[in-house]
Amino acid sequence: DLRPRLRSFNGVGEKIELYSFSKSEFEYAYLVRDIEDKISQGVNPEEIAVFYRYNRDSEPLIRSFEKTLIPFVVESDQNILSDKDIENLITIFKTIENFGNDELLLRCMYIDVFDIDPLDIYKLANFSWRSRTPISDILSSRGRLAKAILSGEDKLYSFYKKISAWKKTSRNKPLLDFFEIVVRESGMLDHLLSGDLALEKIEKLSGLFEDLKTLIENHRSYDLEKFLQYMDLLEEHGVSVRKNVRGSVPGSVHLMTAHRSKGLEFDYIYIINAYDTHWGNNRSIEHFKIYAPSPLDGSFEKIDDERRLFYVALTRARIGVNISYSKEDENGKSRLPSQFIEEISKEFIKEGDVSEYEKKFENEKFKIFAPRAEVRAPVKDKKFLNMIFFEQGLSVTALNNFLECPWNFFYSNLLRVPKVPNKFIMFGSAVHGALSHFFDALKIQGECSKNTLIRLYEDKLRKEPLTDKDLDEMTQKGKRVLSGYYDKYISSCQKNVFNEFKVSIFFDAGVGEGPLRLTGNLDKIEILNGAGEVNVVDYKTGKPKSRNEIEGKTKNSNGNYKRQLVFYNMLLDNYENKKFRMVSGEIDFVEPDQKGEYHKEKFVVSVEDIKKLEEEIKNSAKEIMDLAFWNRYCSDKKCEYCRMRKKCLS
């Protein structure tokens, strides 16, 4: 036997517990019960991890955990299409696209965001059958609705009017705009934000949004019909849309693939589905391969990779390891244990007797149908929000958002609620990208033509999810703006530069258990001399501002642009032993004024500017950590973020 024997070199510890169940449902039920027992005995949930081989293994596992009060976090990619709220959203889209389809209308009415009484839905369907009148015709007429004798007539009529209006919107608005309108007007966004595990739900919504955005970037003519055809195709072929979803609660059991476990350690680990062909001996079809396998054909190398992965999973535990598998699959076919289990010396394994447990579980099978356990929504949990804040750190954009409206910061930066960028934001993004690549090329080549700059801009713009009309408009605008910008500055521009320079430092904000991470992405750093002195440039699209507006000295200005330069100065002062010394910062307005003149405003950041910013960061961080902003709103009476706070987190 050429297979290596796996042995521990850390002395004698707890034996590996091995459990073989007759069916997978017993395996999952035992797993959650054993973890519940450990937690009740005082084990910290954060010190427990469950490892599986493939991302798809997480779905039945998640369903088992959802029926318990065990806090857990899935640290592998999840299929967002299996989420019930995402399914409901797609049903709404299908109802809109197939406007007038009675079956879809009925399914859509049951979605909880519409708050329609199920008895009314039954009465409506019954009245439709008796009167031989399509449901869409009944809903469109208050007179017909009255004849159905419904308690929620107004809700049903309002539901119909929404679907009807969204149908028109789907034909007259870009698909991304339509997506956002339906998500907000249907109440789905408020529902996700106010419900259990809001952060996880928003991450899944963002995943669907990003997938749609990618489709539009590659196929500009994409409409609702094509998107739903794409969804149907995924469902038909069993293809999932997988995203890494945040949403952990502090003190959570970790669920992850064995690959994700590398470099981590836990007190207790569980390795599930440890049967042959799942862990090791994976079958793959190789057409026309007529020669016998040899040590040189790669098959041994593949099994060694699998073995190393299993070994990695085994060695993540400090105290205890639990390995389990089921002897039958869902179709009753027999399974064998993974060959890697056989390679562990018997002296290190303790086989558990599951017969009594399986008998007990047979009498409690009703628990399979138990509803999802209610877990406190982490979005309202102070410890949870503090953890997210420290994980993400603070950028100057997030700081500016917080100072203007704490709920803009909360929803845009902490929860990251998806929002459709308008054509001007996409224009600005394309301009920034083009200038970055242009100055990179100029640094290397020494010269670069105006046509190159325009081409770079057009390439960037084509990747944005713009309509054909907006693409044409922004293309012409970009050509005009960048052509003049090139003529104005090409002869005097600095070529020794760093573009899109990412900086991250740690700052003692006086809160939490350690320093706060501050992050920044500097548009351009111009190297002025060999002593490390630099000028930092930040590009701005839109109407040029006066110096007083930039500094926040006018009535309606906020000082965000100046604060941005001070923030960058603070970052560079603490970056890699003061590798760079920022002697000036420059706001570079890429668009000309009404007279066609281009403007730059240069500032020297003072010690007082830095001190003021440090105090703003400390005060803001303290408010965020203490949730002192929870009942504070901004001065804008029409603020969408404050509205969401009042509606979703009351």
Together in a domain, 343 and 458: no
State the sign of the Cα–Cα–Cα–Cα dihedral 114, 119, 125, 127: negative
Residue ranges in 349-395 assigned as alpha helix (H): 355-362, 382-392
Cβ burial 447-483 (10 Å sphere, 16+ → b, else e): ebeeebbbebbbebbeebbbbeebbeebbebbeebbe
Together in a domain, 279 and 202: no
Residue ranges in 272-354 assigned as alpha helix (H): 299-314, 339-342
CATH of the domain at 170: 1.10.486.10
What confidence score (pLDDT) does residue 514 get? 85
The structure tokens listed for 485 are: 């910008």
Together in a domain, 451 and 330: no
Residue ending a domain, choose from 311, 342, 369: 369
Q: In angstroms, rounded to a whole number, what is the distance separating the alpha carbons of residues 555 and 540?
A: 21
Together in a domain, 299 and 229: no
The structure tokens listed for 523 are: 């548009």
Q: In angstroms, rounded to a whole number, what is the distance separating the alpha carbons of residues 45 and 8?
A: 25
Helix (H) and strand (E) counts for the chain?
25, 15
What confidence score (pLDDT) does residue 184 get? 95
* Residue matched to tokens 């979005």: 379
With a cut of 70, list the residues of the chain below it in pLDDT. Answer: 1-13, 196, 242-250, 282-302, 363-378, 650
What confidence score (pLDDT) does residue 238 get? 73
What confidence score (pLDDT) does residue 387 get? 84
Is 1 within a domain? no
Together in a domain, 25 and 100: no
**DSSP 3-state of 505:** strand
Q: In angstroms, rounded to a whole number, what is the distance separating the alpha carbons of residues 214 and 207?
A: 11
Closest CA to 420 of 637, 227, 174: 174
344: containing domain: 16-75+249-283+290-369
What confidence score (pLDDT) does residue 76 get? 72
Rounded to two decimals, the pTM is 0.77
How many structural domains is the chain composed of? 3
Is 635 within a domain? no
CATH of the domain at 463: 3.90.320.10
* Residue matched to tokens 């308690």: 151
Together in a domain, 566 and 422: yes
Residue ranges in 102-223 assigned as alpha helix (H): 102-109, 118-131, 135-139, 142-147, 153-172, 175-185, 188-194, 198-218
Closest CA to 106 of 89, 91, 96, 121: 121
Q: Which helix (H) or strand (E) is 99 found in, with range?
A: none
Together in a domain, 438 and 582: yes
Together in a domain, 456 and 539: yes
Q: In angstroms, rounded to a whole number, what is the distance separating the alpha carbons of residues 156 and 145?
A: 8
Is 550 within a domain? yes
Q: In angstroms, rounded to a whole number, what is the distance separating the alpha carbons of residues 280 and 338?
A: 6
Q: What is the pLDDT of residues 60-85, one digit of tens each?
A: 898 888 888 888 888 877 788 888 99
- The total of other beta-carbon atoms located within 10 Å of residue 6's CB is 17
Together in a domain, 255 and 226: no
Q: In angstroms, rounded to a whole number, what is the distance separating the alpha carbons of residues 112 and 114?
A: 5
Residue ranges in 393-467 assigned as alpha helix (H): 396-404, 406-408, 423-445, 450-462
What confidence score (pLDDT) does residue 221 get? 82
Q: In angstroms, rounded to a whole number, what is the distance separating the alpha carbons of residues 352 and 18?
A: 6
What confidence score (pLDDT) does residue 376 get? 46
Together in a domain, 456 and 545: yes
Together in a domain, 517 and 393: yes
Name the pairing type of β-strands 253-257 and 242-244. Answer: unpaired
Contact between residue 72 and residue 252 where contact means Cβ atoms under 8 Å apart: yes
What confidence score (pLDDT) does residue 300 get? 52
The backbone torsions φ and ψ at residue 432, rounded to the nearest 5 degrees and listed phi first, read -60, -45
Largest CA distance in the chain: 88
Is 8 within a domain? no
The backbone torsions φ and ψ at residue 17, rounded to the nearest 5 degrees and listed phi first, read -90, 130
Beta strands in 305-379 (DSSP E): 317-326, 349-351
Residue ending a domain, choose from 182, 214, 244: 244
What confidence score (pLDDT) does residue 631 get? 92
